[in-house]
């Protein structure tokens, strides 16, 4: 999917709201122990000047990086420490220990639009005498309900999954030219899906708040009846034809050109209605822009990293909102602990058995 320009009403959002994409450097680490207990560590960074730190950090306050990113709910986390780095970069680290992985997922610190990100976890172990295998799985719930129009209306399920998660690899074995031929129509379809969602969200918001429009050029009923015509007008505008993205449109101008009135301009300005519309738009953008690098450590040596990448027995996963769009996103890994005592016992038993057989003979 193309990187859609954050312009128009979303420029207001950048000034009004803090999110996980606003220089927060949010990270999450999960450590699972052999007995099933586990620890979750969340860290985030903010730029805080010395003056700001002096005014916000009092003797009685917790010296955390502020403001806390919108995608984090940390009230249940145990405060660990805060450090000040170069360039007034303040990083806070929060740790929470849990008795089970299920308990840990129920206390998920990530959230979208004020709602906790849904997650479920499982942890199993299989004793195999010479070694013990462990498997950890955490499933993050889909965020598809942040979009009014379903993605399945635009692309097939496996294509949508490939586009946002890379799985299944529907382009395996194709040449570069063949991949480009396949990618272009997928990108257009996904872009159309996003454009339609953005258009419908903004249009429906205005329709639902039509009583606040002063001297509207048409009645609410007429406004709603012209939705499809207005959408075609917007999509055929020079800005959209050039970029492919609806967010390149000058909202005030396109409404004025179609309805021959400035009556709707206040929805795209720093008015209460404009700020409310920004919040509605953030329901989409918070899902698209969520990005929290996720790392995992387990007992023993990692034997399978699933869709992650393993380095020095730490598994790295890209936990992004886009991966949660087509369906639930599963993080899973397996590890193995060698039971050296089993080898010792086996050798001792073999020696005893050999001695017994020798004496018996």
The predicted structure's pLDDT at residue 88: 92
CB 302 within 8 A of CB 335: yes
The predicted structure's pLDDT at residue 60: 66
Sheet with strand 78-84: strands edge to edge: 78-84, 89-98, 38-47, 27-32, 291-297, 314-320, 309-311
The predicted structure's pLDDT at residue 107: 93
- Rounded to two decimals, the pTM is 0.85
Q: How far apart are CA 238 and CA 236, in angstroms?
A: 6
Peptide bond between residue 339 and the one before it cis (omega within 30 degrees of 0): no
pLDDT, average across residues 33-51: 95
- pLDDT tens sequence across 219-240: 999 999 999 999 999 999 888 8
The predicted structure's pLDDT at residue 63: 85
- Over 50: is that where the pLDDT of 9 sits? no
Q: How far apart are CA 30 and CA 151, in angstroms?
A: 31
The predicted structure's pLDDT at residue 359: 84
Domain ranges of the chain: 9-340
Mean pLDDT of the chain: 89
Backbone region of residue 49 per phi and psi (left: phi > 0; alpha: psi in -120 to 50; beta: other values): beta
Lowest mean pLDDT among 5-9, 238-242, 339-343: 5-9
- pLDDT tens sequence across 43-80: 999 999 999 998 989 876 678 899 999 899 887 777 78
Phi, psi angles (nearest 5°) of residue 181? -65, -35
Q: Is 167 helix (H, G, I), strand (E, B) or coil?
A: coil
Q: Is 103 helix (H, G, I), strand (E, B) or coil?
A: helix
Q: Is 71 helix (H, G, I), strand (E, B) or coil?
A: coil
Q: How far apart are CA 308 and CA 330, in angstroms?
A: 10
CB 168 within 8 A of CB 161: yes
- Residue 178 is encoded by which pair of tokens? 């063949």
pLDDT, average across residues 284-295: 92
């Amino acid at each position: 999917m193309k990187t859609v320009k954050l312009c128009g009403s979303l420029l207001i959002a950048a000034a009004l709201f803090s999110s996980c994409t606003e220089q927060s450097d949010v990270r999450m680490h999960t450590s699972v122990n052999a007995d099933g207990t586990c620890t979750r560590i969340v860290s985030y960074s903010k730029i805080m000047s010395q003056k700001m730190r002096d005014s916000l950090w009092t003797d009685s306050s917790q010296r955390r990086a502020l403001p806390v990113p919108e995608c984090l709910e940390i009230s249940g986390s145990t405060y660990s420490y805060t450090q000040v780095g170069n360039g007034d970069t303040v990083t806070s680290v929060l740790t929470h220990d849990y008795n089970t992985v299920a308990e840990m997922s129920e206390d998920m610190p990530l959230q979208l639009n004020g709602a906790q990100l849904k997650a479920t976890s499982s942890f199993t172990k299989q004793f195999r005498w010479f070694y013990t295998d462990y498997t950890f799985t955490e499933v993050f719930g889909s965020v598809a309900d942040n979009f009014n129009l379903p993605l399945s209306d635009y692309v097939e399920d496996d294509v949508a999954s490939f586009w946002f998660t890379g799985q299944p690899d529907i382009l395996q074995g194709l040449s570069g030219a063949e991949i480009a031929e396949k990618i272009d129509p997928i990108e257009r379809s996904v872009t159309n899906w996003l454009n339609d969602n953005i258009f419908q969200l903004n249009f429906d918001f205005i329709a639902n708040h039509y009583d606040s429009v002063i001297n509207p050029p048409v009645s609410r009923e007429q406004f709603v009846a012209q939705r499809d015509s207005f959408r075609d007008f917007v999509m055929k505008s020079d800005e959209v034809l050039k970029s492919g993205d609806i967010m390149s449109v000058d909202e005030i101008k396109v409404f004025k050109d179609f309805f021959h009135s400035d009556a709707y301009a206040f929805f795209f300005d720093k008015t209460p209605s404009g700020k409310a519309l920004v919040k509605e738009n953030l329901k989409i953008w918070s899902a698209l822009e969520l990005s929290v690098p996720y790392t995992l450590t387990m007992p023993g040596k990692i034997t399978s990293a699933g869709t992650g990448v393993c380095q020095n027995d730490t598994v790295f996963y890209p936990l992004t909102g886009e991966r949660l769009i087509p369906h639930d996103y599963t993080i899973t890994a397996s590890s193995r602990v060698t039971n050296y005592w089993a080898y010792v016992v086996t050798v001792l038993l073999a020696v005893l058995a050999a001695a017994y057989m020798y004496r018996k003979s």
